[in-house]
Structure 1
Amino acid sequence: MAISFSETFTKIRECFQEPEISSLWTENLQSITIIRDVYGAIRLYLEHDNNFIPQKADITTLETSLSQKLGSYYGKDIWLPQGEQDGYKPLIKVIIDQRVPAEWDDDTVAPRWYILERHIAKKAWTDKDAGSPPWEQKFVDQGHKPAILTFFSFKGGVGRTTGLVASAITLASRGHRVAIVDLDLEAPGLSTIFFPDDVENPGVIDYLLEKKIQQNNWPLKTHILSINEQTLLGDRGETLRLISAGTVDNNYLEKLARLDFQNVVDHELPDTLRNLLRELESASKPLDFIFLDARAGFHDIGGLAIADLSHGAVIFGTQSRQSWAGLTNVIRRLARPLAQEQLPVILVHAMAPTLREAGRVEELKAFADKAYQTFQTNYYDDNEIVPNIHDSDAPFTPVVLPLQDDLRGDIALFLRDESPEEASRLSELVKVITSDPYQGLAMKICRLFGREFHKKMG
């Protein structure tokens, strides 16, 4: 019976548990590294004791067992480097540097188990290690640098971008300096919320392409958009800064195609995005927050934003099996297995029932209970003390954002004409996106990074 991709690791472990394999191989091995290539095929790198010299018959027995267990997934390659063979040193170093302990590995028992995944894409989601933001957390804690926060949802259409915009406006109207960056390159939309459709301005996609060619001749500071509409921010609110995804014109798809290719070929995307954020911070300082709007789903740039660029994440989910299936993997990624600490996170129960809807209490409880169980299993280390389920600041305690009819469809946070009716429309819309539920999200963001939630200034 053919096996599937997800069964391969289990089958390898079964192989080494067989008596004829275990008695010879397992007892003489220091480590077993499973190398899974871009097609899913399996190869093994085995480190063994120096006094153990496997015979051809021993290797044949192991290969036969692996072939039977793995079927077509066996790459027919067992690597047994002997001693200090100079020609193999660079390759051995790559394997040892890039492999990570397997989930089932027991570091007190030999042999150790390691995994080395060979990917072309999705590395930000699948790599066990975590990258580093453009500046260290200590500078955020000291107030010298802004906190970078990624807004993410596994499914689209749950109000992620609206939540980001609402938080940015709420904080800016209270004196915080906020910049927002549209990383949803496949479905950009932040700029159209704040500006008419005919506004053309280079954005993230242009930075990623132009910088590689023009380098310092393409300064980001000339392409940062300013948002200072008084109806949004009040008389004394701070100007919002925006880097759009870019202008969706006849060249946009050509730019996007080249970006995908460059990410696969040179793997420079994380460093380029870090440089973008450094330039944004330098051109807009002082800033308190930088909000990143990441594409829904397991997209490469969304994974990079969470794993390599941010000091925290706001994740949006609904009370559905589909949503929780995706969020569970995101929460597991936020645990950042090889990092010293988990990535701080705020959970949002999106599209929740309103106060007058039947079943509201039951759904809120079901979401909160599922969140606690999911974080307890996937976010906290076995040795950690999980906060009390009623701890309002715990990452599993959701901010509840009810579904609001006024926020359906296109949101225009600019005056489309100079009529009194248009001014009234915008004023009412601002009241909705700065109402209590969204204020609660903004307040939790401030608490997450030790910032004061200022009183309204305008």
Structure 2
Amino acid sequence: MNLSSEPIRFDHVRGLALVTAREVAATGIDVLIVRDLLGRITLLIDDREQAPDEDSLLAWGESLKQALGPYVSGQGIALGSTLFQATALFDSSRVLNEITYVPTASQGNIRWLENTVVGEDWTRVSEVPEPSIERVPKVTLYGFKGGVGRSTATAVLARHLADSGKRVLVVDLDLESPGSGPLLLTMEETPQFGLVDQLVESALGNANGLDLVAPASHYTPTRGELWVAPARGRGIPGTPYSYVEKLNRIYTDSPTEDDTDFANRLAEAITACELAMTEAVGAPEVVLLDSRAGIHDIAAVAISRLCDVALLFGADNAHTWAGYSDLFTAWRDSGQAPTVRERLHMVASMVPDTPSRPKDSYLEEFRDHSWSCFSVLYDNEVTDGSSPLPNEAFNPSPEDDSAPHSPIPILFSLDLIGLDSIATPDWPSRGYIQTAYDEFLKTTTHLIFPEGSS
């Protein structure tokens, strides 16, 4: 029961709901905590094997109502036997175990089901498949905030890998604000259709024959290939290109196919771009995903479910660490930290090197702040029986250069401000670019291709 005079807020709800859920689980009954789109809680009791008595149900319902106030649903407590297709809820792949609760042999389980509009894929992390000849490594470049040089870094890395002899495909996933596409393609050389077209047309089974990829403009790699799948296309001649109207529809689940949630359709769109490049010049050997910034479904899917390597861009400021702390805490609380953490690598973008703030001291401060932020994803080496043993724990020290929190630097250059890639197509080969990106290119190439990195 909530005895405080303070109002109940969203952040209180999880802990308060767990109090009643533990009362249910103590009787040996499994309980699923369901949070709806408004944040309201229903305790769904699994009575398929054991049914609670009426008095207990009334007591739990009253306890939940008193504790949660406006955050209790109209039902509050619901029995699975009273719901249509309750098994689909209990057995949903979206259900997560409550990691703060470890039941004894006589107690029931407590699990969570979050119903959200966006961001759900942050807590649905997929295992990265084992390397194989067929597996094309995918690299997501992401920044919690925009303006950190992510798209420029994507273009520079793409050209570097192509010049080293690789067949590179860049997919511009920043659909609301296309980034790497305009950096690598002129409008005249842009394919007729973009990723947004593939997402719209595929929802209706109408994506065959789309022109999705093109070779980078104004640039021929010395050894490899560099192709681009832009966010928006050039359009059909004589027909208005309704980009905004398409954006309004791409996140809608398809009514005509199985497994057509947005995450699956985005993965299929990237595969379609790979196949289009394969038909033109051969299969890509690496795919760079230029993700949009912020807590958004595109970024969630790109990092949590599609990539082998995730490069997280940021500057050393409070906004960066507060944002990443929120994301990392969500992974920890959903039990996904062990799956996702080792694919993450922090990029220190726009690193200064001035007399007042030398590069080395800046990176040292960055590393310490980064380690504090990443530590929520690391294991506690003090085991309590349920945590990993010390020799099995993943808990790199702040000084560990190979750890996810260790910054990969990109130096700041005034020449990059207001860069017009169309007017200066040779910009990646200029000296200031080589100096700024040298360590970034060496380190990321090794992460992508550990064997035979150049």
TM bin, normalised by shorter chain, reads: 0.7 to 0.9
Kindly indicate whether residue 115 of structure 2 is the aligned counterpart of residue 106 of structure 1.
no
Kindly indicate whether residue 208 of structure 2 is the aligned counterpart of residue 217 of structure 1.
yes
Q: Note the alpha carbon deviations across 1:248-295, whole angstroms, 9 max, x for none.
A: 865111111122344799853222222223233333333221001111
Contact 1:347 / 1:398 at 8 angstroms: preserved in 2? Answer: yes
Q: CA deviation at 1:167?
A: 0.9
1:129 pairs with one of 121, 124, 127 = 124
Q: Which residue identity does 2:262 align to in structure 1? A: L
Q: Which residue identity does 1:223 align to in structure 2? A: L
Gaps of 5+ in 1: 417-424
CA distance in 2, matches of 1:50, 1:362: 61
- SS of structure 2 residue aligned to 1:223: coil
Higher mean C-alpha displacement, 289-298 vs 103-112: 103-112
Sort the Cα spacing of 1:52 and 1:123 in 2 relative to 1 into closer, same or farther, 3 A.
closer
CA distance in 2, matches of 1:357, 1:264: 59
Which residue does the alignment assign to 1:251? 242
CA distance in 1, matches of 2:443, 2:133: 17
- SS of structure 2 residue aligned to 1:29: coil
Which residue does the alignment assign to 2:216? 227
Contact 1:328 / 1:378 at 8 angstroms: preserved in 2? Answer: no
Kindly indicate whether residue 163 of structure 2 is the aligned counterpart of residue 173 of structure 1.
yes
Gaps of 5+ in 2: 1-5, 235-239, 381-386
- SS of structure 1 residue aligned to 2:430: helix
Q: Using CA pairs below 8 Å that are at least 6 residues apart, which structure has the higher relative contact order? A: 1
Higher mean C-alpha displacement, 345-354 vs 241-250: 241-250
Q: CA deviation at 1:204?
A: 0.3
Q: CA deviation at 1:29?
A: 3.2
Question: What is the aligned-residue identity percentage?
Answer: 22
Which residue does the alignment assign to 2:57? 59
Q: Note the alpha carbon deviations across 1:371-392, whole angstroms, 9 max, x for none.
A: 2222232244752232343332
TM, length-normalised to structure 2: 0.82
Q: Which residue identity does 2:160 align to in structure 1? A: T
Contact 1:154 / 1:323 at 8 angstroms: preserved in 2? Answer: yes
Contact 2:152 / 2:180 at 8 angstroms: preserved in 1? Answer: no
Kindly indicate whether residue 383 of structure 2 is the aligned counterpart of residue 390 of structure 1.
no
* Matched ranges for 1:30-429 at <5 A: 30-47=29-46, 53-56=52-55, 58-75=56-73, 76-81=75-80, 90-97=85-92, 98-108=94-104, 110-125=107-122, 128-131=123-126, 137-138=129-130, 141-197=131-187, 199-201=189-191, 202-213=193-204, 215=206, 217-219=208-210, 222-227=211-216, 229-230=218-219, 233=221, 236-247=222-233, 250-262=241-253, 267-282=260-275, 283-284=277-278, 285-332=282-329, 337-338=335-336, 341-342=339-340, 344-358=343-357, 360-380=359-379, 382-383=387-388, 384-412=393-421, 414=422, 416=423, 426-427=425-426, 429=428
CA distance in 1, matches of 2:16, 2:331: 28
Aligned length: 422
Contact 1:387 / 1:394 at 8 angstroms: preserved in 2? Answer: yes
- SS of structure 1 residue aligned to 2:17: helix
Q: CA deviation at 1:434?
A: 5.0
Sort the Cα spacing of 1:375 and 1:264 in 2 relative to 1 into closer, same or farther, 3 A.
farther
- SS of structure 2 residue aligned to 1:259: coil
